[in-house]
Amino acid sequence: MIPLALAKQLKEAGLVWQTAVNDFFAIPDRGMDDKVFVISDVMVTMELVQGWPALTFHGTAEWAADHLLTHEAIWLPTEEQLREALEKLLPENNEPDFSLTRLVDGYHCEIVQGGRPLRFSATTAVEAYALTLLHLLYQ
């Protein structure tokens, strides 16, 4: 999962969140920056029942707020979602549009822009994709 700070940068750069079930998000600046939330149809919690771990199902979750507008949240896109966003932004005539390479100490994502390769390195694949996308959004 990408760090909240990087997700904030993507939002500020114009990455649009089309919400969907199973999307991860954070609620910044409300004392919950370290919590990750997920959009779900049904809430399932982990509880001990007679000393055994059990998954318990709940119809709705109660929270201090009745709602949260999506612009107040920060989307934490997955590796797949970032890769799809990159595919949409890159010109279709480049073959391949981008590549991801595993290194000893991390990953780098490479794109070709203006005939020259650009490389974005990070410790995880999802962060390398996010840094590449951030660059393209600012173009």
Q: For position 92, what pLDDT does the model report? A: 66
Q: At what angle do helices 125-137 and 79-89 cross, to 10 degrees?
A: 30
Q: For the chain, how many structural domains are there in total? A: 1
Q: Is residue 62 packed enough to be buried (19+ CB in 10 Å), middle (13-18) or exposed (0-12)?
A: exposed
Q: Would you place residue 99 in the very low, low, confident or very high pLDDT band (cuts 50, 70, 90)?
A: very high
Domain interval for residue 102:
4-137
| Strands (DSSP E) found in the chain | 24-26, 37-38, 43-49, 52-58, 74-75, 98-103, 106-113, 116-122
Q: Kindly report, residue by residue over 5-58, the tens digit of the pLDDT.
A: 999 999 999 999 999 999 999 999 888 888 998 988 877 777 888 888 887 776
